[in-house]
Structure 1
């Protein structure tokens, strides 16, 4: 059963209901948003989740802002759902796209508990923030007469490309395997942004494997409708990174988008943990820094299933490159090859546990990041001033990669052997790209640019920055549409940005 209704200390602050989709990559930015709201005393929060995810959320919610400004309400996850392994309450525990669709359907069964809990909130909810994957929350908000804003954890660039794909339907004139005169994948020039050229695979990546396209397109339609019919859209980004696309969305697409990131910088600063409490890989990084040895960080996401044979090829490529590296491996039981970890023990470390990625990226020894190009990872790398080698695989990752490589020029692209997104990456390619990132001219230029963006990111979330202004403006506008708060009660008026 859901926890008892939450009564906050209130003090005249808005009271928000926040509900993430059950996946760590979707949940972490909203935890960071809560910590930001609490730190700046902008709102009190009731955070909704399920028992299997509650410990992760409570660990992420920082202390020190008082005990009466946030509560975690646990909604019982439906039991014995066909297609979902017993006990799984997070997308990371799913093994197939079929399971993912079953999971999103099962999450909708939480609605009666959610509606009852929101209705019982004291003080009443000022507005709801919900992940777009929880598309049914729109109906909940309408039935409760509460404004609702969507959160979708992808870049503005990817949001805009999704909208323009629907508008222009380039897949009607492109097909798999189309190539140009040089044998490279054929591209479509986006009319509104002629400098952007996307491939058929870029456009179809959000829909996953071919067998899942029909179901994924149906889900994509629900996500789009959930966003379109919301009172606003929260985007985890900042103007210094994506200004043209934020402007385009707000002028040509709806609803109003608020760029309030990067949320990974939103947590208040805390004193570092004592050396004795540090995990062994952080001590290892300290040793590398003391020796003046730059380190490459590798993390390839938590949702895409990478075959063991491919990960062994990555291991061989890293060994060939001869660089110092730290690799956060998923799944933790993967075999990276006979004797690999013993052979590289002086240069590399393989971590098979959950790591604080931002803490690693912010370490002074880290000089490069080999990434799947998920948006959370991109933002963490940008804020840390670390250039990337990008290897997109699914979802919005190809759009992110094009944006980082072709436009921002803060990344180097990993190429597959057959030039398709799902093709095999040989060890020689891994070795070549990471060497260029860490020691080559392209890596040096990417580092200069990403360091500049890092400074802009910090300015955005600081008090008076554009993201800080956007958070206050969002709260003011949404509360003004709700009877809970009149315009005079919430001093978050509009400001020019």
Structure 2
């Protein structure tokens, strides 16, 4: 396994690694040392622990290239040779080597195909099939036998509201994505998805790329539920236990987003004015990459004065990790105000919880289109064309209140039941 060293990416591959290891297959997980240390703690005493072998990569001492590239771009480049050497070392004791690598890490396994005779590789995508297909359409002038007129019609109807690669990512990330379709060495591609949700776009991808696509998700359903009988219940779950059915809005923007202070103030006021019960996970973007250390002089995000006192009893603010899957699966949770990361979308779909879509960047705007326009299980906070504008408290209040009194919950519950089957 060769993951991209970001939590939302590597966590999905690690779940797949644990699932494979549970079938008594040896798995080698190649990642940054600090990430590996955290992952080891998660499987201590587990049945698959002995079948997962971690290979630690060290962060290069200098990530300053002096050419304007972001530090993560330099890190990715400097990991190519260590990963190549590790794959070669592993192959010397293996009759057959199968490499599953994140789509961003394709250059790291490019050379092994010519150096290792017993190897095959599969590209893993941490995004939806819809996002993958939409990006391909923007990267290739003419798709082979493209018969998806409905997709083109939707794009024309949405005009500026349909996301473009450059509007979702910086120039470096957009260039990486545009090059993915050129990759020819892999034997197939793996998606964290399922046919019950994305059959149309999985078929379009397979036809367009002339590759086999395996939809093996949702990944959170691959592993057996943890035995929580001896675990201390998280404060979020204790809070939910005291609320009515479908009465709580869960608010979370994932691990890579930090809202501005001004936006935090508007979100707080919007939640307060909505009169909804809520759980709000308010945290800074994850700095585990080690290329973006959180300095002491970094501005702290503060809640409006007196906010927590005014919402006491109906609102809970969590400033660290929260058990998202358990929260979404609780009967008191009635909606999810989300950045629309694909993993969050899948978890919400499988739990039958309607989504209030507030995409920020990367694949999130494509996912928002998919769940609002096609699945129709979500409502939008704002149009993508207005992404640079401050989202006001009144806009947030209206979006949150749309969760009530519509049929999105019925559609999502039906979709979730099919996913579980």
Q: TM-score range by the shorter chain?
A: 0.7 to 0.9
Correspondence for 2:20 = 37
Q: Which moved more, 1:193-202 or 1:304-313?
A: 193-202
2:164 to 192, 196, 204: 204
Q: Deviations over 1:53-94 (max 9, x none)?
A: 12332244474325431111111121121179xxxxxxxxxx
Cα distance change, pair 448–42 in 1 and its aligned pair in 2 (3 A): farther
Correspondence for 1:432 = 398
Q: Provide the alpha-carbon RMSD of the alignment.
A: 2.5
Count of aligned residue pairs for this structure pair: 396
Correspondence for 2:31 = 49
Cα distance change, pair 201–102 in 1 and its aligned pair in 2 (3 A): farther
Cα distance change, pair 66–414 in 1 and its aligned pair in 2 (3 A): closer
Task: For 1:147 and 1:339, locate their aligned partners in 2 and report how far apart those are by CA, in whole Å.
Answer: 58
Q: Return the TM-score normalized by structure 1.
A: 0.74
Cα distance change, pair 446–201 in 1 and its aligned pair in 2 (3 A): closer
Q: Deviations over 1:344-397 (max 9, x none)?
A: 111100000112211211122111100011111101111111110001121221
Task: For 2:79 and 2:102, locate their aligned partners in 1 and report how far apart those are by CA, in whole Å.
Answer: 14
Correspondence for 1:218 = 175
> Does 1:287 pair with 2:250?
no
Task: For 1:203 and 1:287, locate their aligned partners in 2 and report how far apart those are by CA, in whole Å.
Answer: 40
Deviation at 1:419, TM superposition (A): 4.9
Correspondence for 2:221 = 265
Task: For 1:420 and 1:229, locate their aligned partners in 2 and report how far apart those are by CA, in whole Å.
Answer: 40
Unaligned residue ranges in structure 2 (runs of 5+) = 143-147, 286-299
Deviation at 1:44, TM superposition (A): 2.0
Q: Deviations over 1:107-128 (max 9, x none)?
A: 2322332223222223355210
Q: Which moved more, 1:45-54 or 1:122-131?
A: 122-131
Unaligned residue ranges in structure 1 (runs of 5+) = 1-17, 85-97, 170-189, 460-497
Task: For 1:358 and 1:48, locate their aligned partners in 2 and report how far apart those are by CA, in whole Å.
Answer: 26
Contact 2:249/2:278, CA 8 A, preserved across alignment: yes
Cα distance change, pair 200–141 in 1 and its aligned pair in 2 (3 A): farther
Correspondence for 1:365 = 332
Cα distance change, pair 194–221 in 1 and its aligned pair in 2 (3 A): closer
Contact 2:124/2:191, CA 8 A, preserved across alignment: yes
2:103 to 107, 110, 132: 132
Q: Deviations over 1:116-149 (max 9, x none)?
A: 3222223355210111111212323313242111
Q: Counterpart of 1:386 in 2: which secondary structure? A: coil
Cα distance change, pair 67–124 in 1 and its aligned pair in 2 (3 A): farther
Task: For 2:35 and 2:260, locate their aligned partners in 1 and report how far apart those are by CA, in whole Å.
Answer: 27
Cα distance change, pair 144–77 in 1 and its aligned pair in 2 (3 A): farther
Q: Return the TM-score normalized by structure 2.
A: 0.87
1:353 to 309, 313, 320: 320
Q: Counterpart of 2:54 in 1: which secondary structure? A: strand
1:301 to 236, 246, 254: 254
Task: For 2:303 and 2:188, locate their aligned partners in 1 and report how far apart those are by CA, in whole Å.
Answer: 45
Q: Counterpart of 2:27 in 1: which secondary structure? A: strand
Q: Deviations over 1:22-74 (max 9, x none)?
A: 110001111111222233x1632111111121233224447432543111111
Task: For 2:335 and 2:229, locate their aligned partners in 1 and report how far apart those are by CA, in whole Å.
Answer: 24
Contact 2:24/2:48, CA 8 A, preserved across alignment: no
Correspondence for 1:247 = 203
Contact 2:247/2:334, CA 8 A, preserved across alignment: yes
Contact 2:161/2:385, CA 8 A, preserved across alignment: no
Cα distance change, pair 60–201 in 1 and its aligned pair in 2 (3 A): farther
What pairs up with 1:302-321 in 2 under 5 angstroms? Answer: 302-321=255-274
Task: For 2:267 and 2:44, locate their aligned partners in 1 and report how far apart those are by CA, in whole Å.
Answer: 36
Q: Deviations over 1:301-329 (max 9, x none)?
A: 22234211011101100000011100111
Deviation at 1:162, TM superposition (A): 1.1
